[in-house]
Structures are given as C-alpha cells and as structure tokens.
Chains A and B, each alone.
Chain A
Amino acid sequence: MTTLIDALNDPQSVMHLRPLQLSALMSQARQAGLLAALRVHLDRAGVLAPLPADVTRHLDSASLAQTKQARDLRFEVRCLRDALAPAGLSPILLKGAAYIIGELPAGDGRIISDIDLLTPHAAIPAAESALIAAGWITGPLDDYDEQYYRRWMHEIPPMAHKSRGSVVDLHHTILPPTAAPHVDAGRLFESLKSTSLEGVLALGNCDQVIHSATHLFHESEFHHALRDLWDLNQLLRDFETSVVSAHGAVAGAEGGASVNGAADRVDQGGAGGDFWSMLEERACALDLGTPTYLALRYASRLFGTPVPADTLNALRPPLARARSLLWDPLFLRGAFSLDYPGDRPRGRAFALWLLYLRGHVLRMPLRLLVPHLVRKAVRRGAVGKGSENVA
C-alpha cells in the first residue's frame, strides 16, 4: 500500500505499474495533495512522457491548477506587502507560501490552502488594522471562538479578502502559548531571509525546517501529513547542500522595511558549521528538539532523507525508544498512511483518533482542553457538521 511513497522515492518504478496500480497512484497523490508535486518529480526523472495519456492528463490537470494558484499567490503576496508597508511591516511567509515565493524545490508543485504570515506579537494590532484597511476581514465568529483564538492560540482568526477570497492566517509564534515547549518567538526574527519578491521575507533555513516539523507533529488533523513530511524531506535535502551562512542568508537589509529592525541582524554562531549541526543547535535553542527529531526520524524512514546518525542521536528526546512503540504505529499507520486503494486500512481511524487527542493535549493543558472539547462536542451535536471553525 505504498504506491505513492514508492513513486516519490523511485520515479522509475512507475514505468512498471499496471493500469490499476496507476489508478491507485493518481488517487493517492490526489488524496495527499501531491499530484502536482508528483508530476514535477516524474518529469525531472524523465518518466512522465512514457506514461499513458489517460494517466498524464491527471498530472497535467493538477499541474495547471497549481500553476494558477502559484500565480495568484504571487499577486496576493504583493498585495499583502503593499498593505503592510504603511505600518512599517514586511510580510514574513511561512510554510507553502514561503517555499513557493522563496523558489525552493519544496515549492515546485506545492499547493496551499491559505497564506500563513508571521509577525511579532506586539505588531499584531498594527498588522491586523493594515490588513483590514486593505480588505481582509475576519468572518463572523462567536465570542467564544474569538476569545479562544485571541487568548490561547498562536494565530489570530483567519482573515479572508472581501472580494478575492484569499485567506491569511496571521501568526505571532510557532505554537499556542499554552503548549509545553516555551518557544521564544523573538528568536525567529533573528535569521530571516529574502525571497524572490523584494520586501517579502521567510524564516531562515533551519527555522523553516523546525517550524514545519513543529506544525506537523503538534497537529491534531492529519489530512496533509504525508505532504508535510515530503516538504520536510525536500527542505532538508535542499538546505543540506546549499551553502549559506548559519540559519540562512540574511535578508531585509536592502529589502525595504524590516520587522523591528530584526531582519538586519546577522546570524549568531555556527557560521561555517554544517547544516545539520546548526539545525540541531537551533532546535534545542527553541525548545523544539522533539518535533524536529520526529521529522528527521520519519522523513528518513519514509523518504530516505540522508540524516546523519549523530544529529538524530543528539536530538533524541528522553525515553525515545519506549515512546517510539507508540509513535511508530500512530504515525506510520495513522498520519502517514492513505485511505486508498480499497478501504481505510485497519486501525487507521483509531490511530487518527489517538493522534487527534495527542494534538490537543500537546496544545493545551487538560484544565483548558477538557472544557474546550466538551464545548466543541456539544456544539457539533447541536448545530451539525460544517459549523466548526475552531481549530
């Protein structure tokens, strides 16, 4: 049942697939949000052209949709930059938008659902007003949801553009403040780097990896888990070989407005050191060693990412061997598994349910979590599906 993972790891293998296996491959890739990315990968390996036309039309269709999305994203990011400029802020892109606008290999064929931005906590009111002035508005939320976001979350409620519909998630840190790791968000602004758009920034290389890993392994919903792990594989392989200073090139210096001047600062420490030791150091400094360890563990397990054993050992959290007895079945059978072909693999629903609880427990202490989940359950029962807008 690893058709998609096999195809990503060994593109040549698709040449030997029978028609029904190709159906399963298309279906899995579509389900994982990796259809356009798969096309990029197969094309680079030179195995796209020999595939039958009724297969490639699915890859081509997804690629056309992704191209359009990336084009729209570029436009939206320029609008965001112009909207934030009067407030003296530059957009700092996170995740998919950062990979695409940063022109990283992870951005090739990447589809996104919304635009994630990072801004210092103190600048949230200014950024929010600037975005409202430019047409991004928050949908109707009840008091509870509003308060939930404002008080407990690492982001403010999503803002959608009133005419174009683009959705922006404004983050002020990596994790909800209620989560156990205490991330010093200020440090994220130490090592910003430039993107292909002037005045638009992204996190430094190590921070991009750590942020992606933290999101993935603190998630409670895993619809895009395999895609996120593929991102991590791509980022790690890319950053390992690219020669840059410490946590990434320093940006913003000539790129116009910078965030509280932080972008102008040069990386501290580790210059000249290799990527893996910088990643290790940075993950520990941010108190995010465990999610980074999990990302390296599963990226190398599923995609053969060449992670040095030393790095993995250094990041290994306490009791890793015992905890992996639970992690492996949950992540391999739940998060990184796919529902097709056939029906949901045995135990997947249970694994996903446990991961759902795990994600919530990691996010907030039980004294906050229990009332929140009860409230969600009651409301779901009362209003029915579709009214759920709290994470």
Chain B
Amino acid sequence: MRPYNENLAIGPYTYRIRTTLRNVAAGLQALYRDFPRADASAFVDFDIALRSHGILPWRKLSRFGFDGRDQFGPVPVHQAYASLEWGMNWCVSVHCNEYLKLHAAVVASDAGAIIMPGVPGAGKSTLCAALGLSGWRILSDEHALIPPGSRQVVPLCRPVSLKNESIDVIRSFSRDAVFGPPSLDTHKGTVQHMKGDLHPESHATDPVPVRALVFPRFSRDEPQRLRARPRTVSFVLAAYHSFNYSLLGEDGFHAMRHLVEAAPCFDLVYHDLEWAMGALERMPAGEALPQSAEMS
C-alpha cells in the first residue's frame, strides 16, 4: 500500500495527514474517501504524521507527530488508528478558541441541529451513529462549534467513535455502516470508528441553526424519557461540557447565554435506539413545551 498523504478539508479546517502505517492508511482510505481534498498549495491548519517507531518486530509502535514533533508518546501500532482520531480531536480541543466548543455529538434534520453534550459513556456517539444511518446529518461526534453571539453550529463532520458493545449495537442496527480498523485494549477498551459523512450535505460548511440541546444518558434500569429541563441547570451543565467556556471568560458566558436562551433543553434517558430516535423526531419546538412535560 502506498503511504497516505492527503490534505483533507474537514469542516472549517484543513488537515494534512501523512502516514506510512498500513492499517492507518487503510482506515483513512475507508473513512475519509468521500472528504473533499484541499488544494496542495492551500493553508494547512493541522499537519499530522503517524510514523512507525521502535525496532523490535514484535513490539511495533506508532508516534503521533504534530508540528513535526511527537506529541503523546508512542502507542502500539494496533491502536494507531484510534490515536490518529483522538489526536485530530485534540487539535481542535486544545488549539481552537474562535468558537465556544462543547464536548457533544451534533446531528441535524431539516428542523435544525440538535446538540447532545455528554460525558464519555452517556451514549451520545451510539445515538449519533444510529441517527446518521437513519437519514440525519451528522455534524460532529465530538465538538459543537458555536460562533460566539450566534445560535448556530459550525459543521465538523468526522468518523464516529464507537466503543466496546456500541460497535456490535451499530453493526446489528445497520448493514450499511462502514468501519475503520479496530483498536484493541486502549484505555477506553476496544474502539472502532464508523464512516460519518453519510448525508448528501455532509461536507457543506454553512453554519446550521441550533434547534435544541439534548443531554442523553444511556440507562437500562430507568424508564425511557425525553423531558424538558430548566435552562439555568442546562446552562451550567453545558458549561461543564465545554472545552473553553472558562477560557473565553466573559465572552464565553455571553456566548453560552445567547445560545441557551433560545434553545429548548431536554434530558434524554434511553436504552432503545429506535425509541430514542423516534423521540427526537417528534420533539416539539421547545418554547411551547411546559418545563415538566414528559413524553414516552
């Protein structure tokens, strides 16, 4: 296989990605094949190179190079693909502050974008993948990028990161899901990425109006529900899920207030994907919804 060397246009950013590792190149070819290429002479935001490291044939390692420097220390080569995707997230999480950034999955229908902030394990990626496979547009699996002062989200569509049981859940949910190479025994368990640009509009770059904030939580034991929640509590929770709310200081406060002021907020507790998707489809425009309304 030839070494991979592409300038990918991903949302508002251009990533230059190079690797000589076969499994990583194969993953990139599968998951990014439909991404637009940036011109080779155009400005590059993030320059990433994954290289093999170490001389022991039974202990092959990979290094994530950014700005020409090894950033995270070597990982086993069978975890290299996940380290690439995490590193690509890190570029945005750490280096970009032109947006208010929430750690969230973001999906859109004709009615607008739904931001789903959540801690790891809340089930946001699983739900995001299932929605993407059912006709919704995936705007991001990781970052909701909000231009301060707007009520819009900037698309940053990339593959969806699935972990452990979620991989099989999505495999049985749809035969159409395209997966990259599995990364085994990472600190998050087994991780596999699903092709995320499934919608005709996936690579459009225009900001999408925010329709709602939904805080998902996967729970087998509780009754499933989509329930409106007070804005004040949602504000604090959204700030908690933000990468740079406090970094932006007063501007962060105003940006978050402006966003939450107009967006209805919901708690979503679910264990059945079909139910959760139906609930989101039927979700009312929040202004009309009493704060305690419950749907099932």
Contact = CB atoms under 8 A, between A and B. Distances in A.
B134 to A, nearest CB: 34
A26 to B, nearest CB: 8
Interface residues of B, number: 21
A344 B69 CA distance: 8
A28 B67 CA distance: 7
A381 interface: no
Interface string B72-107: 011000000000000000000001111000000000
Nearest to B69: A339
Contacts of B95: 30, 58, 61-62
Interface string A330-353: 000000001111111000000000
A55 interface: yes
A58 B249 contact: no
B98 to A, nearest CB: 4
A61 B97 contact: yes
Contact of A57 (B42, B98, B244): B98
23 contacts: A18-B41, A19-B42, A20-B41, A20-B43, A23-B43, A23-B44, A28-B67, A31-B67, A31-B68, A54-B43, A55-B43, A57-B98, A58-B95, A64-B97, A65-B97, A68-B246, A68-B247, A68-B249, A71-B249, A339-B69, A343-B68, A344-B68, A385-B73
B9 to A, nearest CB: 11
B249 A339 contact: no
Interface residues of A, number: 32
B47 interface: yes
Contacts of B67: 27-28, 30-31, 339-340
A94 to B, nearest CB: 25
Interface in A277-323: none
Contacts of A31: 67-69
Contacts of B98: 57, 60-61
Contacts of A30: 67, 95
A50 interface: no
B43 to A, nearest CB: 4
Interface string B228-249: 0000000000000000101111
Contacts of A27: 47, 67-68
A14 to B, nearest CB: 13
Contacts of A52: 43
Interface in A18-63: 18-20, 22-23, 26-28, 30-31, 52, 54-55, 57-58, 60-62
Contacts of B69: 31, 339-340
Contacts of A272: none
A31 B45 CA distance: 13
Interface in B204-239: none
B180 to A, nearest CB: 26
Interface in B35-51: 41-45, 47
Nearest to B38: A19
Contacts of A339: 67-69
Nearest to A27: B67
Nearest to A31: B67
A267 to B, nearest CB: 39
A386 interface: yes
Task: Enumerate the 6 nearest inter-chain pairs by beta-carbon distance, A residue then B residue, closest first.
Answer: A340-B68, A339-B68, A61-B97, A19-B43, A23-B44, A64-B97
Given A31-B67, A68-B247, 5 more contacts: A20-B41, A23-B47, A54-B43, A338-B68, A344-B68
Contacts of A386: 73
Interface in B87-133: 95-98
Nearest to A341: B68
Contacts of A23: 43-45, 47
A32 to B, nearest CB: 9
A58 B44 CA distance: 11
